[in-house]
Amino acid sequence: MTGGGLSFDEVDRAALAAEFDPNSLDAAFYENPYPTYAALRELDPVHRCPDGTYFLTRYADLDPIYRDRVHFSSDKKAVFGPKFGVGSALYEHHTTSLVFNDPPYHTRVRRHIVGALTPHVLQAMEPQVVALVDGLLDGLEKKSRGFDLIDDFAAAIPVEVIGNLLKVPREDRGPLRGWSLAILGALEPNVSSEQRADGDRAVSEFTDYLRLLVEARRRQPLENDLLTRLLQEKDLSLTELLHNCVFLLNAGHETTTNLIGNGLNLLFTHPDSLEHLRTTPDLVASAVEECLRCESPNQLGNRLVVQPICIRGVTFEPGAYLTLCIGAANRDGDEFPDAEAFDIGRRPNRHLAFAAGGHACAGMSVARLEAQVAISRLIQRFPGMRLTGHAVRGGRARFRGFRSLPARL
Ligand code: HEM
C-alpha cells in the first residue's frame, strides 16, 4: 500500500490512464488493450492526450456523440491535410468518401448506397455466401497439416462478397485486400512515411483500376449491380464515384475479416460457449453480436467539435478533436452487466461496433450475414477443429483482428 492508501495495482492503473498516448502504443497494448481501456473508462474517461486531442471511453458519452451532428462533425479535411498532405492520393480519397463528410454531401452519397443494399439484395446474397463458405470449408478439409483461419477462410469471404456486389471480375480481385490494408492502415493514430507512401500508391492503383471498370460498365451496364446503379446517379461526379467505391470495397473488407477471425477465436477459447452454440444454432445471430461487442473490429472513431459543448466537466471548443473508443465503450459495465464476460445469449446488446446515428455502418446487414454464415457453417461442419496456438494479432489499434490464426481438424 502507498501512503495514500492505494494498492500498487491502483497506482499502476492510475499511471496507465494518466500516461496513455494513442500515438505511442506498445506490443502489450496491441495484444490486449482492454486493461488500459478499463483504467481510462474508470479513472479518466475524457482523457487529454499529449498531442492535445481527447480520448473518450464511456458508453454513455460515445452513444450521444455519435448521434449528435450539431456539435460534432465527421469532416476530416482539417485533420487529414497535415496527416496525409493536401493533394495527396490518400487525402483526396479519405476526404471524398462519405464516412468523413457531413451533410449535404454525406446524405447524397449515403442515400445511393443504402438504397442499393435493400433486403431483396441481401436475400439474393445469402445462397451465394453459403456456397462460398462451403467451398472454403471443402478446401480446409483437404489441408491435413493445418490451415490459417484468416488467410484460408475469414479473409477470403468479404473480398468475394463485396466483389460480387460491385461485380468486379473474379480474376481482378487479387490486389483488393492489399490495397484495402494499405489505405485503411494509413488511418492508424501514428503512421510512418513508408505507410503513407504505400497508402498513396494503393489509392492510385485502386482508382486507376476502377476507372477502367467504370468505362466497361458504361459500355455494358449489368443487372443487380451496385456500380451500374451508382453510375446512373447523375449527382455523383466520377471522382466521387471512384472514391466511394474504393471506400465500399475497403469498409466491408478488413472489418468483416476481423469480425469472423475475432469471433472464431472468442468461440474456440470459450469451449462452453462454442458447444452451446453448436447445440443451439439459433443463437448464431446473438453470438455474432456478442463477438462484435467483445472484440469490436473497428475499435476507434473520431469526431471534430464544431459547436462548444461540455462533457463530464470538460468544455470543448470548436476545433477540439475526439477519438471515440468503441472498444472501451463496448465493455462498459454501466451499459453491459458483467461486461468482461463473453455471453453469446446477451440481451439486450446495444453495442456500438457499427457506431450509431447518421453515419452508422451502411453495410452492417452484409457483415452480419457473412459472419453468421461463416461461423455457423464452420462450427457445425468441423466439431473436432482446434486452434493450434501461435496466433498473431494484426498490430493495429483502430482495426482489431488477427494476421494469422492457425488451426487444424
Ligand atoms: C464487421 C464489419 C463492419 C464493421 C465493424 C463496420 C463498422 C463501421 C463503423 C463503426 C462505421 C461508422 C464510422 C464513423 O462514422 O466513424 C461504418 C461506416 C460505414 N460502413 Fe461499415 N463496418 C463493417 C462492415 C461493412 C460492410 C460489409 C460494408 C459494405 C458492404 C460497410 C459499409 C460502410 C459504409 C458505407 C459506412 C459509411 C456510412 C456513413 O458514413 O454514413 N461496412 N462501419
Give distance in angstroms: CA of 140 to centre of ligand 1.
Answer: 29
Give distance in angstroms: CA of 172 to centre of ligand 1.
Answer: 24
Give distance in angstroms: CA of 354 to centre of ligand 1.
Answer: 6
What are the mean pLDDT values of the chain's consecutive 10-residue runs (409 residues total)? 58 90 93 96 97 97 98 96 95 97 96 88 93 98 95 95 91 91 86 94 96 95 88 90 92 94 98 98 98 98 97 97 98 98 98 98 96 98 93 92 97
**pLDDT at residue 185, as a whole number:** 86
**pLDDT at residue 6, as a whole number:** 65
**pLDDT at residue 120, as a whole number:** 87
Give distance in angstroms: CA of 279 to centre of ligand 1.
Answer: 31
* CB contact set of 274 (below 8 Å; sequence gap of 6+): 267, 268, 379
**pLDDT at residue 3, as a whole number:** 43
Contact 121, 228 (CB under 8 A): no
Closest residue (by CA) to atom 16 of ligand 1?
A: 301
Give the binding-site residues of ligand 1, using a 6 Å CB cut-off: 74, 98-99, 110, 113, 162, 248, 251-252, 255-256, 259, 297-298, 301, 353-355, 359, 361-363, 366-367
Query: Measured from the CA of 158, which atom of ligand 1 is nearest?
Result: 27
Q: Which residue has the cell 473497428?
A: 298
**Nearest partner of 226 among 165, 172, 170, judged by Cα:** 165
What secondary structure, in 3-state letters, does the chain show? CCCCCCCHHHHHHHHHHHCCCCCCCCHHHHHCCHHHHHHHHHHCCEEECCCCCEEECCHHHHHHHHHCCCCEECCCHHHHHHHHCCCCHHHHHHHHCHHHCCCCHHHHHHHHHHHHCCHHHHHHHHHHHHHHHHHHHHHHHCCCCCEECHHHHHCHHHHHHHHHHCCCCHHHCCCHHHHHHHHHHCCCCCCCHHHHHHHHHHHHHHHHHHHHHHHHHHHCCCCCCHHHHHHCCCCCCHHHHHHHHHHHHHHCCHHHHHHHHHHHHHHHCCHHHHHHHHHCHHHHHHHHHHHHHHCCCECEEEEEECCCEEECCEEECCCCEEEEEHHHHCCCCCCCCCCCCCCCCCCCCCCCCCCCHHHCCCCHHHHHHHHHHHHHHHHHHCCCCEECCCCEECCCCCECCEEECEEEC
Give distance in angstroms: CA of 361 to centre of ligand 1.
Answer: 3
Q: Which residue has the cell 455494358?
A: 220
Give distance in angstroms: CA of 257 to centre of ligand 1.
Answer: 13
**pLDDT at residue 95, as a whole number:** 97
**pLDDT at residue 188, as a whole number:** 83
Closest residue (by CA) to atom 21 of ligand 1?
A: 361
Query: Measured from the CA of 247, which atom of ligand 1 is nearest?
Result: 35
Q: Which of the listed residues 361, 368, 370, 372 should we mutate to test ligand 1's pocket, taking the one with most ligand atoms within 8 A of CB?
A: 361
Contact 325, 310 (CB under 8 A): no
* CB contact set of 301 (below 8 Å; sequence gap of 6+): 66, 323, 324, 326, 355
Query: Measured from the CA of 368, which atom of ligand 1 is nearest?
Result: 1
**pLDDT at residue 101, as a whole number:** 97
Gap between the Cα atoms of 186 and 398, Å rounded? 10
